[in-house]
Amino acid sequence: MSYLFNTPQQTEEMLAAIGVGSVEDLLEQIPESLRLDRKLDLPAPKSELELEQHVRDLAGRNVTASSRSCFLGGGAYDHFVPSVVDEIASRGEFYTAYTPYQAEASQGSLQAFFEFQTLICQLTGMDVSNASLYEGGTAVSEAAFMAMRVTNRHQRVVVLGTVHPEFRQVLHTYTDLLPCEIVEIPCQDGGADLNLVKEQLDEKTACLVVQQPNFFGCLEDVRELSELAHQVGALSVVSVDPISLGMLERPGNLGVDIVVAEGQPLGIPLQYGGPYLGILACRKEYVRKIPGRIVSLATDRNGKRCFVLGLQTREQHIRREKATSNICTNQGLLALRATVYMSLLGADGLNRVAELSCRKAHYAAEQLTALDGVELMFPQPFFKEFVLRVEKGVERFTDAAREAGFDIGPLLRQFDSIDPSVRSQGVLVAVTECRSRDEIDALRDAVRDF
């Protein structure tokens, strides 16, 4: 963004135009106690050469995933992004497009969203996908509201305690002022206790929310959990890691009704929490209840193929009480990145990424748990992420890794909603296809004698 300044003459002209004698007169409506009665504490002016060097020094203090060995997980992962994803997504017609309100002028964007929807349906095994949501956390909440509309049950949502703590926090925030009870089922050994889940489901429940793999990296019995939800007339909502679907059974084949996901692993780099990509897909009988917008394939008056906004039950287009969501738009640019990424890899490529991540994660777990005082907190089947329990102190363990150039985490203790007996000693470790065997061995050696 350009730095714009005003000369004293320009300032006087603007003040005269609005009929004010000085800047102080302009600000007189602000109480005296709230005004700063001194000049800003800024350093002395610098020349362009000095300023550029200063900014360069500041930028050099940043640490990125590419400058260290990243074993960070907890919902955002360091997967490889082919350079062609950046090349296509940075084209002006995509990069500057906001939203396809004028469909006749944005056929390229509409086609990209149509392709995104198609790929998401193929990936999840569902019938319908919308054109994306903001990110994974709000996608879980949108799915819960969608389940309420489908079942006409607005009183109760059951969520496994193994769903990402921040996703659950977003759901609580969304329903805070609504007469809806959010029932959280405690984690048992890193996975759901089916008997406990069955006890909590009843005829008032709109849906059961599950995460696969769950927040601790472990695999849930999605088919059985979906069946339990259906036995009481509730829907099953599953939040997935999209990369895991390169190896695991598609949710659509397991009886799931609504699939949501954080789409960041699909060609979107780590960005300190966002912007990321929300994914939502469902069975076709629920399409009228879906939030956001759906792009459709149509034929114009000349018989030519075209793309249109086929369904968008949003406040801007229909009566507010009929709207399925107050979501304003979709994550167009990031949905495009995911589309390019999935198109490039194809089914075989995605399977390869998933398999490499899984095999390397299991190798890392074997190496790290071979150390004294380090063990898997949950000895359950896992995909690419696992929780370590460290007897000597988890902070010392992560500090030793960090000093050697390895980032692992997050620590479970930063999530208040996790059982205290679990979170005090646990740390997440995620391994993607980007990590090499040498890096894993070096991490093991770095924390061997911490």
Each residue's pLDDT tens digit, 375-415: 999 999 999 999 999 998 999 999 999 999 999 999 999 99
- Packing angle of the helix pair 332-369, 107-124 (nearest 10 deg): 30
Find where tokens 């995509």 sit. Answer: 94
Are 204 and 289 part of one and the same domain? yes
Percent of the chain past pLDDT 90, that is, above it, reads 77
Q: How confident is the model at residue 2 (pLDDT cuts 50, 70, 90)?
A: low
Worst-scoring range by mean pLDDT, 92-96, 229-233, 255-259, 391-395? 92-96
Query: Residue 137's pLDDT is what?
Result: 95
Say yes or no to pLDDT of 97 above 90: no
- At 112-133, the pLDDT tens digits run 999 999 999 999 999 999 999 9
Query: Residue 108's pLDDT is what?
Result: 86
Are 214 and 142 part of one and the same domain? yes
Of the candidates 263, 438, 271, the residue with the CA atom closest to the CA atom of residue 339: 263
Are 233 and 305 part of one and the same domain? yes
Query: Residue 176's pLDDT is what?
Result: 94
Are 118 and 90 part of one and the same domain? yes
Number of domains making up the chain: 2
Say yes or no to pLDDT of 327 above 80: no
Are 177 and 205 part of one and the same domain? yes
Query: Residue 104's pLDDT is what?
Result: 54
Query: Residue 39's pLDDT is what?
Result: 87
- The average pLDDT across 170-180 equals 95
Rg (CA), the chain: 25
The answer to whether residue 61 sits within a structural domain is no
Q: How confident is the model at residue 247 (pLDDT cuts 50, 70, 90)?
A: very high
CATH code (residue 234): 3.40.640.10
Q: Which of 341, 368, 383 is the last residue of a domain?
A: 341
Q: Which residue has the higher pLDDT, 198 or 330?
A: 198
Are 96 and 73 part of one and the same domain? no
Q: How confident is the model at residue 6 (pLDDT cuts 50, 70, 90)?
A: confident
Are 337 and 380 part of one and the same domain? no
| Edge-first strand listing for the sheet containing 426-430 | 374-376, 385-390, 426-430
CATH code (residue 385): 3.90.1150.10
Cis link prior to 410 (omega < 30° from 0)? Answer: yes
Query: Residue 100's pLDDT is what?
Result: 57
Mean pLDDT of the chain: 92
Q: Are strands 426-430 and 181-185 parallel, antiparallel or unpaired?
A: unpaired
Distances (CA, A) of 60 to 45, 63, 67, 421: 21, 8, 11, 40
Assess contact for 190 and 380: CB atoms under 8 A.
yes
Q: Whole-angstrom Cα distance, residue 11 to residue 294?
A: 49
Task: Please give the residue range of the domain that contains residue 387.
Answer: 69-80+346-447
- At 418-427, the pLDDT tens digits run 888 788 889 9
- At 185-197, the pLDDT tens digits run 998 789 999 999 9
Q: Which of 341, 356, 380 is the last residue of a domain?
A: 341
Query: Residue 102's pLDDT is what?
Result: 60
Are 253 and 211 part of one and the same domain? yes
